A and B are shown apart, each in its own frame.
Chain A
Amino acid sequence: MTAMGDVRRRRIDELAARAGAVPEGEGGVSLTRSAFRRLRRNPVAIIGAVIVVVFLVVAAFAPLLAPRDPLAQSLLSQIRPGFIPGAQEGFPLGVDNLGRDLLSRLIWGSRQSLMIGVISTVLGVAVGMALGVLAGGLGGWVDTVVMRFVDIVLSIPSLLMAISISVLLGQNQYALMIAIAVTQVPIFARLLRGSMLAQRNSDYALAATALGVKKGRIVFGHVLPNSLSPVIVQGTLSLATAIIEAAALSFLGLGDPDLARPEWGAMLANAQAFLSVRPELAVYPALCIIVVALGFTLLGESLREALDPKFRR
């Protein structure tokens, strides 16, 4: 144990330790199914799921749903310094400072924003889990090396870490995703490791060892599947963080420079210059970010309740 971020780590470890404790009085029903049942009865989970699904559908069918080309410029004759035309016939939310239809840009933007959020989180989860499995599964010096590395990465505040990485990789959407993913890696590595350590000493793992099951099979067949629930919860919550963080990086000028791809964060950053002229330009993309982040948070929190044995009844 090192001093650094001990508080933060203890928190992650606490979450990990709670994973997969055996629920009482639920014999005969699989863990997943009982969790799913609790989820379905929870109105908060339903609201979160609906929000997420709606935005996913919008993102998937953006070309069909958007009334206009998000790059086409119109109403240019009406745009003057200090004036940007608002909602009117054919432009339900008005246009931006370059005369591009705001609604269409928001719809196309959902594609880019969700993609950045999802890919960076998936990347963060995948690498974090790989490190976590290495550390938690093998133990010994591998564990020490991996965890030291994770501690060092955790010692840099996440936005500063993301800034350093985007500067290093240059300005493009892949750099953005990688930068966000790297800030997530240590969280998942620690979470999975802790959760696996808790499971490794469980009765069924001991029983499997006693029966002579090979170590690899115990780790991948028994310990890992039972250690996943905190990772699933954190992963859902991290989707919200990733989308907000992407907006922050865009705001700092480290976002995707390709103007042909509308993205909420970039739209929001761009709109700041026109905030006193037409605040809607900033408010709508911000609302999209807030609502999506809220959707993932609600879903994540109710997943936590559904999977956490403390909440089981």
Chain B
Amino acid sequence: MLRFIVRRLLQLIPILLGLSVLLFAWLRALPGGPAQAALGERATPEAIARYNELFGLDEPILVQYLRFLGRAVRLDFGTSARTGRAVTTEFFERMPGTVELTVFALIFAVGVGIPLGYLAARRHGSWLDSTSVIGSLLGVAIPVFFLAYLLRLLFAVELGWLPGSGRQDVRMDATRITNFYVLDGLMTREWDAAWDAVLHLILPAIALGTIPLAIIVRITRASVLDVVNEDYVRTANAKGLAMSTVRRRHIIRNALLPVSTTIGLQAGLLLSGAVLTETVFAFGGVGSAIYDALFARDFALLQGFILMLAVVYVLVNLLVDISYGLLDPRVRAR
């Protein structure tokens, strides 16, 4: 198992190197290049020339790349043109919000999706089944940001049941430890702060979780229907096991294998969707920072954020792979 993990970790190196080359080239290819990225849209040509000289941007490209790589390894991506703060600082301040959002979205998707898919399969052909099939098709076709706007309009603006923007009420004045607002509230025993953060997460999490929910319902349903017809289920029934035992030990356990694969596949979808959802709810995570950076043409921040998000994505995938290695010995051998 250890060998498997080490091998997987080693295989990350070429990917990360390739990513760094890609994003280095990206910033270089932009009109104005890195100088423009650092100084902002309205930088004068003289300022750009001075910047280029100062930061060695007139040196050979390979030297520049190695220097970029050296800084990237130390997580130094320069300063944001919009806020004037270090890109990395911005990232680590905002990432916890996005993590909280994606975790809540995933809890919603899995918590609703698996039972719903299972019930749909058990009542194959019933109205519940057809509704969940149609619902899961619609869920994939709906643009995330539109759904987010609808939810916000209905439950925050019209009905006023839930907060429609931000991560916490500004009047809360909560203590910050980790920047995970819910966790912070729990750690400091500021229960009202934690609860307020949870309330702020509900609508964005539902919006973000809908596509994964639709996919999970569909896969669970299909997978349960597959397994029900397997020989071992017939055998279990034939030898007189109680129906509940067959369901628990034979059907659900086997049906959940493809479902767990699907859940692992959602990481990228959630990160992409977070950009859109956070923008609608002015959530203050990584996603809304990317949106703001796009408008302000804050390229240094975009470069750093995209690179770091890609690394996060790669690491999440790695974790998913390792957990499969633990679950299924066949994967390890490959």
Q: Which residues of A contact B (CB under 8 A)?
A: 1-8, 10-11, 148-149, 151-152, 155-160, 163-164, 167-168, 240, 244, 247-248, 251-254, 265, 268, 272, 275-276, 279, 282, 286, 289-291, 293-294, 297-298
Contact = CB atoms under 8 A, between A and B. Distances in A.
Majority SS of interface residues in chain A?
A: helix
A151 B310 CA distance: 12
A269 to B, nearest CB: 8
B141 A293 contact: yes
Nearest to B262: A11
A112 to B, nearest CB: 16
Return the 7 tightest CB-CB contacts between A and B, nearest first: A159-B272, A152-B18, A293-B141, A3-B8, A2-B11, A157-B268, A157-B271
Contacts of A160: 271-272, 275, 290, 306, 309-310
B291 interface: yes
Contact of B138 (A159, A167, A290): A290
Interface of B: 7-9, 11-12, 14-15, 18-19, 22-23, 26, 29-30, 137-138, 140-146, 149, 153, 157, 261, 264-265, 268-269, 271-273, 275-276, 279, 290-291, 294-295, 299, 302, 306, 309-310, 313-314, 317-318, 320-321, 324, 334
A244 B143 contact: yes
B143 A152 contact: no
14 contacts: A4-B12, A5-B314, A10-B261, A157-B268, A157-B272, A160-B306, A163-B275, A164-B23, A167-B30, A168-B30, A248-B145, A282-B146, A293-B141, A297-B140
Contact of B313 (A157, A163, A268): A157
A147 to B, nearest CB: 11
A96 B126 CA distance: 42
Given A7-B261, A286-B142, A286-B146, A156 B11 contact: no
B326 to A, nearest CB: 14
B137 A156 contact: no
Given A252-B276, A276-B153, A7 B317 contact: yes
Given A11-B261, A155-B310, A168-B30, A4 B272 contact: no
Contacts of B12: 2-4
A5 B309 CA distance: 14
A272 B314 CA distance: 34
Given A6-B321, A148-B18, A297-B137, A11 B265 contact: yes
A3 B268 contact: no
A240 B141 contact: yes
Contact of A251 (B276, B306, B317): B276
B170 to A, nearest CB: 22
B141 A164 contact: no
Nearest to A296: B141
Majority SS of interface residues in chain B?
A: helix
Given A4-B15, A152-B18, A167 B294 contact: yes
A137 B264 CA distance: 31
A168 B146 contact: no
Contacts of A254: 294
Contacts of B272: 157-160
B276 A151 contact: no
A164 B18 CA distance: 15
A207 B320 CA distance: 41
Contacts of B275: 159-160, 163, 252
Contacts of A155: 15, 18-19, 310, 313-314, 317
B302 to A, nearest CB: 7
Contact of A163 (B142, B144, B290): B290
B333 to A, nearest CB: 12
A158 B313 CA distance: 11
Contact of B306 (A7, A11, A156): A156
Given A159-B275, A254-B294, A272-B149, A3 B317 contact: yes
Contacts of A11: 261, 265
B310 to A, nearest CB: 5
Contact of A275 (B149, B265, B271, B310): B149
A4 B146 contact: no
Given A164-B23, A167-B30, A276-B157, 4 more contacts: A5-B317, A151-B15, A252-B276, A298-B137
Given A156-B19, A160-B309, A282 B149 contact: yes
B90 to A, nearest CB: 16
A168 B26 CA distance: 7
B7 to A, nearest CB: 8
A157 B19 CA distance: 12
A290 B29 contact: no
Contacts of B290: 160, 163
A292 to B, nearest CB: 8
Contact of A4 (B22, B142, B314): B314
